[in-house]
Chains A and B, each alone.
Chain A
C-alpha cells in the first residue's frame, strides 16, 4: 500500500486564513488577498495537510452513529461538513450584525451590507473574479436556472438582450454525464423556446466523449453546458478545449462547478467558460447560498430571472427598470449570514491551500481505486486512473444492489451515497441501474478508505448466504 502520506512540499499549518484559533470572522473586516489567483490551477505548491488538526475543526466528525461506530463521512459530494470557523462566522453575523442587507439607514443595516459585500469580494478572490461578477443565488441549481431563464426572457427584453435569445434552429449542447441540475434546465429552455437539445456522449470508462466535437459544436450552437467534474465518475472534462471550440462559433459556455470549485483551484480567467455555477454547502460553507459567476459584459446585457425587491432601479405602476449586475439578479433580502459563512469557508480552504486540498484528495482517490477496485466482484464506474479525475469513486458490487451495500456500510458508521446521484442518463449510458458512491474531502483519511473497502467485503459476506458466520464490525485500526 502506498499513498499513506502525501509526500511533496513542505508542511504548513493546517489552516490559515480565519485560522483554527476560531476567533470568529469579522464581517466587513479585511479579506486576505489570494496570492495565486492569476496562476494556473496546479502552479501553487501542494503541502501535506495535517488531517488530524483539520478533523478537530469539524465537530460533527466526533459523533457516533449507528452501532456506536464513529462516523466515517464519505458523502461530501452530496454536502460537505462544516468547520467551526464557518459556523462561528455565521453565528457572529447573527449575534452582532444581523439586519437586512441593502436596506435601512441604521447601523446594523450598514454592517450587514458591509459583511455581505465583503463576502462577495472574498468569493470573487477565491475564483479570480471581480466582485461585480459574483451573483449570490440560493444554490448552484438556481444559478444555472438563472442563465437558462434569462435566455428565454431575452426574447422580450429589448435589443441588448437579443444576443441571449434562442429559438427554433438554434442548438443547446449539454453532456450525457451532467447532474440533472445542468441538464433539466436546458431541456426546459429548449421546450420553452423551440431550440434543439444535443449532447456529448460518454466513453465506457465514464469520460466525456468529445470525439464528435467538430460536428456537435457548429454555427447553430448557442450555448454549451458542461460539468467541471462528474459527480459520478469523477471525470474532469477539458473545459478549455470545449470553450475554445464553442467561442469560435460564438456560443456561450456554462460550467457546472459544484464538484470542481470545492476541490481544486479554479481561476475563472483561465477556465475558458463564460459562466460558472457552484454552491457553498459542498465547499464547507452553509446551505442556502450558491454562486453564479459570469463575465461582466454578459451579466450586464442579461435580463433578470427572479424579479422583486432590491433588484430594481425605478418602479412605476406601468413598469420598472433594473439595477446593474450583480444586484439585478439578487431579488429579495439576501442570505447575508450564509454568504458570510461561505467567505469563511473560502478563508479556510485558502488557508489549507487549494493545491494541497487537491493533492490530498488525489491521494485518497488513488488509494480508493486500488483497494475498492481491487475487491473481487466490485467494478468502478469511472476512470481507473487518477489522471484528470476528481475524488468521486462510484462502484457496483456484483449481485448486491447499491441500497443494500449502503445499508451495510451505514450499519458500520460509513456514510455513502446510493442510487443514481442525480445523474440518471449517465447511469443509463454506462449500463447500470444505480451505484454506490464514495466522495472525499479535506477531513478524510486513508484509514477511512480502508474501512470502506472492508465494509464492502462485509456486505458481500452478508448477502452471499453465510451471514451470521461473519458478524459485522469495524476492523481494529479503522478510524
Chain B
C-alpha cells in the first residue's frame, strides 16, 4: 500500500513525539517560515558553536504547526544534524532535497541521511514535498543568518 510506504512507522513516531521541540535560549538566529499553500509554519532557532575552527550546530529548537510530514521531518532533521558541522549539515540537506525531488526513483545515501531515508515515499506525492522540506529550509536560512551574524529574521514573522 502506497500510503503505508509514505507514513512509515518512524515518521509517525516522530510526529507523535517530536524530538528537540520547543524554543530555547540562547540562539544565534531565528527564522519563521510558512508554506503558503497550506499555512503550515515553523519558528526555528539555531545555535552555533566552534568545532576545531569550523562552525558546528550546537542546538536547533523550534515550534511548528503542521502536518505529520512537516513535523516529523523537522524532528528527524534535528536528530541528524545537531552536533554536526555546518558543512556536514548542508551536505545532508542537499542530499535530502535530492531525495525529495526523485519522484520515488531516488537511491538515498543512508549513511548521509540516516532516519531521513524514511521520507523516500513522500517524494511520490509532489504536493507533500514542501511539507517535508519546511524545517530543512528554515534551518538552512537560520544557519546562513547565524553565520552572517544577522540574528533575528525581520522579514517573515507574522
Contacting residues, chain B, for A214 (C-beta < 8 A): none
Inter-chain contact A433/B2, CB cutoff 8 Å: no
Inter-chain contact B3/A472, CB cutoff 8 Å: yes
Inter-chain contact A404/B65, CB cutoff 8 Å: no
Identify which of B36-44, B81-89, B143-151 touches chain A.
B36-44
Inter-chain contact A419/B37, CB cutoff 8 Å: yes
Q: Give 6 closest A-B pairs by Cβ, nearest first.
A: A401-B67, A403-B67, A419-B38, A411-B3, A420-B39, A404-B68
Contacting residues, chain A, for B7 (C-beta < 8 A): 404, 407, 462, 467
Would you call A200 an interface residue if the criterion is a C-beta within 8 Å of the partner chain's C-beta atoms? no
Q: In the complex, how many residues of chain A place their beta carbon closer than 8 angstroms to a beta carbon of chain B?
A: 23
Task: Take A402-B67, A407-B128 as given contacts and tell me if A433 and B39 are in contact as well, using a CB distance cutoff of 8 Å.
Answer: yes
Q: In the complex, how many residues of chain B place their beta carbon closer than 8 angstroms to a beta carbon of chain A?
A: 20
Inter-chain contact A463/B68, CB cutoff 8 Å: yes
With A402-B38, A403-B40, A465-B16 given, name 11 new contacts (CB 8 A): A66-B2, A403-B38, A403-B128, A407-B3, A407-B125, A419-B37, A433-B66, A462-B7, A463-B68, A467-B4, A472-B3
Would you call B137 an interface residue if the criterion is a C-beta within 8 Å of the partner chain's C-beta atoms? no
Inter-chain contact A424/B39, CB cutoff 8 Å: yes
Inter-chain contact B1/A471, CB cutoff 8 Å: yes
Inter-chain contact B38/A407, CB cutoff 8 Å: no
A408 to B69, CA, bound (A): 13
Contacting residues, chain B, for A463 (C-beta < 8 A): 12, 68
**Nearest residue in A to B131 (C-beta to C-beta)?**
A403
Would you call A418 an interface residue if the criterion is a C-beta within 8 Å of the partner chain's C-beta atoms? yes
Would you call A179 an interface residue if the criterion is a C-beta within 8 Å of the partner chain's C-beta atoms? no
Would you call A431 an interface residue if the criterion is a C-beta within 8 Å of the partner chain's C-beta atoms? no
Would you call A360 an interface residue if the criterion is a C-beta within 8 Å of the partner chain's C-beta atoms? no
Interchain Cβ contacts under 8 Å between A and B, 11 examples? A67-B2, A401-B68, A402-B38, A403-B131, A404-B67, A407-B3, A419-B38, A462-B3, A462-B7, A463-B12, A463-B68
Query: A64 → chain B, closest Cβ, in Å?
Result: 14
Contacting residues, chain A, for B128 (C-beta < 8 A): 403, 407
Interface string of A91-129 (1 = CB under 8 A from B): 000000000000000000000000000000000000000
Inter-chain contact A472/B1, CB cutoff 8 Å: yes
A250 to B129, CA, bound (A): 49
| Centre residue among A407, A419, A462 by max chain B CB count within 10 A | A407
Inter-chain contact B2/A411, CB cutoff 8 Å: yes
A472 to B39, CA, bound (A): 28
Contacting residues, chain B, for A467 (C-beta < 8 A): 4, 7, 12
Contact pick for B39, options A434, A462, A468, CB 8 Å: A434
Per the 8 Å Cβ criterion, residues 377-402 of A in contact with B are: 401-402
